[in-house]
Every structure is written in structure tokens, then in C-alpha cells.
Amino acid sequence: MSREEAIANAIQAKFHMFSGSEDKQTSADVSNVGAFQLPDPAGKAGGACTSTLLKVLNDNRGAPLSWIELLRRMRDVLREKGFSQVPQLSSSEMIDVNTPFYIVPPETKNMNGAKRAILIGINYTGQQGQLSGCHNDVANIKKYLIEKENFQEKDMLILVDDGRHHQPTRKNIMDAFERITQYSKAGDTVFIHYSGHGGNIPDKDGDEKDGYDETLIPVDFKTAGHIVDDELFVALVKKMPKDVHVTVLMDCCHSGTVLDLPYNVNATESKMHDNLGFDMGLLDENALMCCALLALCFAPDIISSLLGGLFD
């Protein structure tokens, strides 16, 4: 079986993930997203990646836009605002980046498929590295999905550390991913948004080209640890049912390959290519056990040693 056949056999859903920075880069916050001219933006602060994506989509007013055009316009906006981050697109399949971008695939619009979203915003209130715009990012993405993509609020699970929504703990985030894989079926559309801190930790299984695993940092990271990219791949990517269309927006540091998808392209390139750091071993059925052990390697007893470089 070829590499492409093995990937297609193991990853049966269609994943497209946007991230605001390469694995080696940190992300950026904006003190006032009004500078991005979003329609009625929630709050002042926000993530540069979320704000930039929404600005490009709103400015385009529903006109056709290719995947690579979207990335390049995002980079242009970021550079105009003084940011150096390079937007990325990762995918579960090799796509022609000159074809039209979509969140809801055109071919599913008459199939009555469900539209569901998981929106995660973590400000880490009262903790080291507190942020101020992640709740606003969730509100702005929610508004866009409802008004432009016809999502329903009742079909959105919102995890925000504001005392009103479900807390974005490690368990709640992983449970949300488990639930979305259980509920989804062919023809459905899923949108997942994460705005918060991202990290990188030394790779323990030798599958990362740069020597680091990328992570998401839940609100209770001090006691529960990181969520490692290998875990995300096995729990979310591999378990999502066949022909579910999933768009993911990761607005955090070191997020270029945080879902460990097999193909990628960035805003400076012209076509998608193999992710040379993709671990074919993750396609094995024993990967879930390996990932569980990996998570234990970064349990709370060693978190304190990582805090110095955690909040880049």
C-alpha cells in the first residue's frame, strides 16, 4: 500500500486546518481588533490570526476565493499591521490550492447535513501569561458562522473560561472532540476554533522533524498538563467519520502542524506538499495507547520545569 493510500484509508474525514504561524513561530495578539474593520467586533483585544481570517472573508463579500489566495491575503493583512507570522494550511488530503475555499462544501448544501462547531477561548484569567482577547475571538467567530455560514447557536459547543460557559479544561476539550466524532456523519460540516496558548515540548517518539511536539494548553494545564499533537490526531482526526468536512482554526503559538495532518502549504508557497514530519506510525491502531503514554510523560509533576518557555 502506498503512502497516499495508507493515509486515505486511515483518515476518512476531510480536514483543513488554518494556523496563524509556523511551528517555530509565536502567535500575536491585537490590542484593538477594530483596526481590522470587522463588522461589530466583540471587545477590543483579539488574536491576529482570527481577526485576519475574518477580515479577509468579510472584505471578500462571498466572492470566490481560492485556498492560496486566502492565505496570501491573510499574510498581506498581517504584514500591513506589522506582524511577521506566516499563515499555514494543513490538510488530510492533497488539494489543489487554486480551487475555491469553503467552510461548507458546495456539494453538501443540498444534502441537509448538520453543521456543528466547537469554539474554545482561553484567557487564563489570574494565571501567568494571562490573555485578553480569546473570549472576543470566540464571539467574533460565532457571529460569522451564524450570519455567513448559517450555523445555529444550538449546534455550537462553547468552552470559555468566563464563568458562564463550560470551562476549557483538558478533560472538557478532549470530551468535546470525542462527542463531535460520535455525532458527525457523512455530509456533515464541522468547524473547530481554538484561541489560547500553544506550546511545544521535546518530541519523545522521534516523529517530529524539528524535534518538538506541538501542544494546546488548557486552562488547567498546571494540574492536567498539555494536549499533545499526537493525541489530537488520534482522538479527533483519525476518529472523525468518513466524508465529514472539518475546518479548524488554530490561533495560538507553534500551531503550524498541531493536528499532525499529512499535507501542508504556507502563504509563501504555490502548491501543497507532503508534511515531511508526518508520522505514519500514527495510522497504526496502537497509536492511541502510545499517545496516552505520551500525555503521561508531560503530567503535572514536570509542568513547572516547562513554565519558563511556555508563554511565548
pLDDT band for 296, please (50, 70, 90 cuts).
very low
The one catalytic residue in 193, 197, 245, 254 is 197
Q: Which of 89, 83, 88 is nearest to 48 (CA)?
A: 83
Tell me if residue 253 is catalytic: yes
The one catalytic residue in 49, 134, 252, 253 is 253
Evaluate if residue 134 carries a pLDDT over 90.
yes
How many angstroms separate the CA atoms of 299 and 30, rounded?
32
pTM, two decimals, is 0.89
b or e along 103-121 (b: 16 or more beta carbons within 10 Å of the residue's beta carbon)? bbbeebeeeebbbbbbbbb
Q: Are 295 and 246 in contact (CB under 8 A)?
A: no
278 or 111, higher pLDDT = 278
9 within domain boundaries: no
CATH number of 183's domain: 3.40.50
10 within domain boundaries: no
pLDDT tens, position by position, 229-286: 989 999 999 999 999 999 999 998 877 789 999 999 999 999 999 998 788 887 875 5
5 within domain boundaries: no
Tell me if residue 49 is catalytic: no
Number of domains in the chain: 1
41 within domain boundaries: yes
How many angstroms separate the CA atoms of 132 and 134, rounded?
6
Q: Which domain holds residue 262?
A: 15-307
